Amino acid sequence: MRQLLRSASLFLFPLAAFSQERVPAGWNDPFPPHRILDNMYYVGTKELASFLIVTPQGNILMNSNYESSVPAIKASVEKLGFKFSDIKILIAGHAHPDHVGGDAMVKE
């Protein structure tokens, strides 16, 4: 039983640390949203890139960044004249919290 608990703790403790949001200073500072090309827009913060791809079938957000980044992303999307609720697809550069930490909040 002790071995089982020891093994479980080796797996669970790193997950708890992973779930804690530790955003470096300045990473969520605002950055002006802007059009990059055609139907692609920058909607991220000063240090965390997020992109909005606008399509007639619904919009795509690449990188939700940290959960605390989502309000800034939402404000950027709306400042460009789009509805945040029109985001239908979330994609990420890779599975790190600074790219996917806000996914659940965006889906709400």
Nearest to 21 by CA among 41, 3, 48: 48
Q: In the chain, what are the domains?
A: 24-107 (3.60.15.10)
Q: pLDDT digits over 2-16, tens only?
A: 565 555 555 554 544
Residue 64: its pLDDT value, please? Answer: 87
Q: Rounded to whole angstroms, how far apart are CA atoms 76 and 17? A: 30
Closest CA to 92 of 54, 49, 55: 49
- Per-residue model confidence as pLDDT tens digits over 31-84: 999 999 999 999 999 998 999 999 999 999 999 888 889 999 999 999 999 999
- What is the arithmetic mean of pLDDT over 21-25? 84
As a whole number of angstroms, the distance between CA 61 and CA 33 comes to: 13
pTM: 0.75
- Listed residue (28, 9, 5, 3) closest to 101, CA to CA: 28
What does the pLDDT read at residue 3? 62
